[in-house]
Every structure is written in structure tokens, then in C-alpha cells.
Structure 1
């Protein structure tokens, strides 16, 4: 089969012929239709992702959509011909999606939403799983709450906004002013972070009490701002980028709580993989019900033009970038 190979860090991917994988016990052989790219893929290619190291030479690509061609022993959840998607590889020793075929752990997969193309579906797994772990697993967002999403127009952010709305919460999102229309289209209230202070939007939208749940997709000072804007006693802050050093004093003085999300752990460790499949089944249900839809870049790429796709991600795409394989 044809596959893109990362032979050394900080070098272009090479299109090569390699052996087609055979599904082992518990795996599904997928005829890849599309592979989604994330900012994390850039860090992996440059060797800067200390938390997501891969073993060279490697086939990159974290997200996949495609058709099940064969199943290994002990797989009863999928059959040949099923249209599937998942966050399946590109880190550790897990083959990624930028190839004609990939043998993936069946526990990481779900049936693709019928109302999405393969191209659209490949944009979803990492961002949806991350957003779900934050909004549902950690914060248990529910009706009657006021939820603030920092970075609401980003990959994880725009999905988190939609999940919170689907669960009945009143949602606010800090974004650049050019993304106001996008956020209002999701039924949320946009906040121009460059023109409004934390105190001002906290007073305006919560009468100074603070938000029930705050999701930080930015890190740094934004996480510090979240600690100061969360509701006293019952509030909860979640971050997907809580890797720096922060003072917990503002959070402690408000008597609130904090948790982090590390979406890659099941891929790297092998533990908890079935939960990723469960989350994507929830994704399929919400998407088929019309409650969640990914924002996808209009650009089109293939295995030959993949470096252009990486450049679009690096430049800050207006939507998830997807590479179509077949």
C-alpha cells in the first residue's frame, strides 16, 4: 500500500510503498477514505510533542474515517463494509491514518454518522473526544448552568460549545470578533476577549457570581482568568492545556475545583480505549440528530499534496483540515 512516512523529525513526509497491514486479534482493517489533521500533528512531525512521541519511521495521522475491509479475531462489533471513524494512531507505536489502509483497535472505533461524508467525519474524533471528556466526563455540564468556553471557535472549542448547548446549558464563548457569527450560529453568546475584561463579562453575564463551568482551550493567562471567573463553591474549571505553572490561590479562594484532560492517554497506554469508542457513539447520535456539526476547511488535499495541508494547519485554518486518501 501507499503510505506517508515520517523518517526524521523536521523533515517532509515521504510517500512510500509499504506492506499492507493484517488485522490482529481485536483489530479492524480500515480502507482509509480520509485522515484529519490537528495542531498536534505539527508538533509530532517536528519532534516537539514530548507527551505524544512516536517511533520513527512512522506513519502519522491521528484521526481516520473509512470502510472496514476485514476484522480480526474476537471482533464482533464491526463487520466488513461498515463505515467507521476514530482516533486511532499517529502516536506511540500506533500506525496513523495517512495511508491506504490501517489496522486499528476496534475499541477506538464507532460507526460513522450517516449524515456526514467521510471527509467531514475524519475531522471529528480527537476534537469531539477531548470536548466530551471536558464537558461531560469532568464537568458534567447540564441544564440550568452557565458555561464559558475559552477559545470557542477552535477545534475543540466549537465542539464543546455545541455539546454544552445540546445538554441544555447556557453557553458563552471568548472569541475573536470575526467569529461572532459562527458562535451565535451555535446558539451561544460570543465575548470579544480582546475588548472585554474578565470582571466586565463576569458581571454582565453572571451578575458577578461567576460561571458554573469554564473550559480553557488556550492555557497560560487564560487559565488564570478562568480561576478568577468560576462560580464560588460549586464552579468547576477544566483545561486541555493546563501544562504550565499557575497559582491556585484564586481558585482556592473561590472554593471551586479544577481538572485536566489528556485525551491521548488511552492511545499511549492501551488503558481505557473502549471509552473512546463509547464517546464516538455519543458523537454519532448527536450528529445524526442535528445537534453537533464540525467546521471543516473547504480545502482539498491528498497524499501527494499533504505538506500543503500541514502548512494550512500551521497558518491557522478556519476549520479542521482533512486529507482525502481514496
Structure 2
């Protein structure tokens, strides 16, 4: 089969087209003909940092985690899938799991689900990693109807899904962005936009919560921005973040009694730990999407499998809106 390989990691790492052996289905897995995949920030980190990250596969490596496609073969012990089923998931591209920048993947059946019926393959491929992340963060924060939820980075991959899911669960949603396009997308998704470049945290907390703070802050920016999340959160509030690889003074969180939830959705893939939970979340997300509660935003530029390098560059440029998708 055709695949795009990384032979050496680094800032100047390039993808190389190659013919590789088509994988064979095995017990508990399914063979999927990939129609589309998408690029996530962690994919670009692996390409550049390689062995500096404990989750990087050995080279030559097939990167890519998200996919949507059609089942070609079903392994022993798999009950939920048949040949011809349209599926989506996040199942490779790290550690010993070959990735999705190829024509086919053998995916653990616990890391996938049936594709939302009304979504295209490209739309479905955009969802798994970011949607599982957003869903897990909101669930761990105990989201409830009527709460005020702040999403930092609402025009990004995780953020634009978190807005939609929070609205689906009945929350009143607010979100930060830093440009006209970003703010327009946030409004289109149904959240109240906040320009973090022109409004201080104190200003928008006063404006939207009368100074009380937000019940939940979903911080898809993280790092130093967590300090802003602590400031924006209500007393005994919940903060969920996807980026916490930093040193930070937790004193503000202490005096507010905040709960901090660190979401690292790759744990089931890396450690073969409760992978079935990802399948369950993906099934729930498909139902939400089919009910009209979740539609991914795709970047206006599309890429072929041979253009995987350009797709990575598009994501890294910061010029894209929504998810960068590759048509395999």
C-alpha cells in the first residue's frame, strides 16, 4: 500500500512516499481502508521532536492518529463491525501503533466507532482526537445545564468542539479569540465571543458573570494561560486543560478551591488502558453529531496523502481555521 514515511525526526523532517506492506487484520482489530485523516498538534510535535517525546514511534514511521474509512476485514473476537461499515477513530501514529498517513490501518476495535451518518469522511476524520478531548474535559468538569462555561481558544481544533458540546449539554458558553475571523467563528458556533487582546480577564468576568466567575473554564491554550483560567473561574470552580507541561504557581487555585483536570486523551492508546472508553465516547459523539449538536469545521485548504508535509505546514502556520484534513 501507499504510505507517507518519516525516516528521521527533526525541525527539517520530511515525509517520503513509499510502498509498504499492507497490514493484516488480527484478533480484536479491524482492517480499515482510510478515506481521510486529519492533522493534530501532537502529530507535528512528534515529527519535529521525535525521541524527545516518549510517545514517538521508531523510524521509519507512519504518523497520523485520526481516520475515517471503510472496514475491509474483521479480526477474531470483533462483534460490532462488518465488512463495508463506515467507521472513524483515533488509533495510531504513536508508540508501536502505525499511523493513518497510509491507504490502510489495522485499528483496535476499542479505539473506533461507526461514523456519524450525516458527516462526510473528511468531516468524520476531523473529529476523534479533538472531540474525545473536549468531551472528556467537560465530563470530568461535571458540566450541567445552565452553567456558564468559558472556552479558551474557541476557534481551534479542541476549542470549537468544546463550544458545541457545552451548548449541547445546556450550558451558556463564552469563548476567547484573538482576531476577527476567530471571533466570527466563535459567534457562528453559538458562543459569546471575547477578544482577549482588547479585554482583560477581570473585565470580561465582570461583564459576563457580574464578577462571580465561570463555573467551568475549558483551557485549550494552557501553559501560562492557566493563570488566566484561575482568575476567570468561580469559587470552587472547575478548570480543564489540555496543556499543562509547565511550572505554575497554584496559589490562586488554592484560595479559590479550584479543581484542575488535565486531559491527555492518548493514555488509552499509549498504555492499552481502558481503550473501550474511547469507543464509547465516539459512539456518544456520533449520536450528538447526528442530532445536530456537533459539526466539525474544516480548514478551507485540502490536501492529498502525498501532500502530508504541506498539511503539517498549514497547521503550524496558524493561518488555518478548524481542522486540517488529508484525503487519503
Q: Same fold (TM over 0.5)?
A: yes
| CA displacement, residues 232-260 of structure 1 (integer Å, 9 cap, x when unaligned) | 12x11111101111111111111221111
> What is the alpha-carbon distance in structure 2 between the residues aligned to residue 197 and residue 85 of structure 1?
40
Return closer, same or farther for 1:51/1:290 CA change in 2, 3 Å cut-off.
farther
| CA displacement, residues 169-221 of structure 1 (integer Å, 9 cap, x when unaligned) | 00100112412221112211000001111111111111111110001111233
> What is the alpha-carbon distance in structure 1 between the residues aligned to residue 171 and residue 5 of structure 2?
43
Partner of 1:69: 72
> What is the alpha-carbon distance in structure 2 between the residues aligned to residue 93 and residue 102 of structure 1?
13
- For the Cα contact (< 8 Å) 2:146–2:172, is it kept in 1? yes
> What is the alpha-carbon distance in structure 1 between the residues aligned to residue 201 and residue 309 of structure 2?
39
Return closer, same or farther for 1:177/1:18 CA change in 2, 3 Å cut-off.
closer
Partner of 2:186: 183
Displacement of 1:51 after TM fit?
4.7
- Within 5 Å, give how 1:229-240 maps onto structure 2: 229-233=232-236, 235-240=237-242
Note the residue ranges of structure 2 that are not aligned, 5 or more in a row: none
TM-score, structure 2 normalization? 0.96
| CA displacement, residues 152-183 of structure 1 (integer Å, 9 cap, x when unaligned) | 11100010010000000001001124122211
Where in structure 1 do 4 or more consecutive aligned residues deviate above 2 Å? Answer: none
- For the Cα contact (< 8 Å) 2:160–2:322, is it kept in 1? no
- Is residue 16 of structure 2 the alignment partner of residue 14 of structure 1? yes
Partner of 1:199: 202
Partner of 1:286: 288
> What is the alpha-carbon distance in structure 2 between the residues aligned to residue 59 and residue 174 of structure 1?
35
- Is residue 126 of structure 2 the alignment partner of residue 105 of structure 1? no
Which range moved further: 14-23 or 46-55?
46-55
> What is the alpha-carbon distance in structure 2 between the residues aligned to residue 308 and residue 257 of structure 1?
39
- For the Cα contact (< 8 Å) 2:151–2:219, is it kept in 1? yes
Partner of 2:99: 96
Note the residue ranges of structure 1 that are not aligned, 5 or more in a row: none
- For the Cα contact (< 8 Å) 1:52–1:264, is it kept in 2? no
Partner of 1:163: 165
- For the Cα contact (< 8 Å) 2:4–2:101, is it kept in 1? yes
| Number of equivalenced pairs | 323
> What is the alpha-carbon distance in structure 2 between the residues aligned to residue 127 and residue 161 of structure 1?
12
Return closer, same or farther for 1:151/1:113 CA change in 2, 3 Å cut-off.
same
Partner of 1:139: 141
Q: Tell me which of 290, 295, 298 is aligned to 2:297.
A: 295
| CA displacement, residues 89-115 of structure 1 (integer Å, 9 cap, x when unaligned) | 101110111111110000001111111
> What is the alpha-carbon distance in structure 2 between the residues aligned to residue 144 and residue 63 of structure 1?
32
Displacement of 1:42 after TM fit?
0.9
> What is the alpha-carbon distance in structure 1 between the residues aligned to residue 297 and residue 54 of structure 2?
26
- For the Cα contact (< 8 Å) 2:4–2:306, is it kept in 1? no
> What is the alpha-carbon distance in structure 2 between the residues aligned to residue 60 and residue 177 of structure 1?
31
> What is the alpha-carbon distance in structure 2 between the residues aligned to residue 24 and residue 269 of structure 1?
19
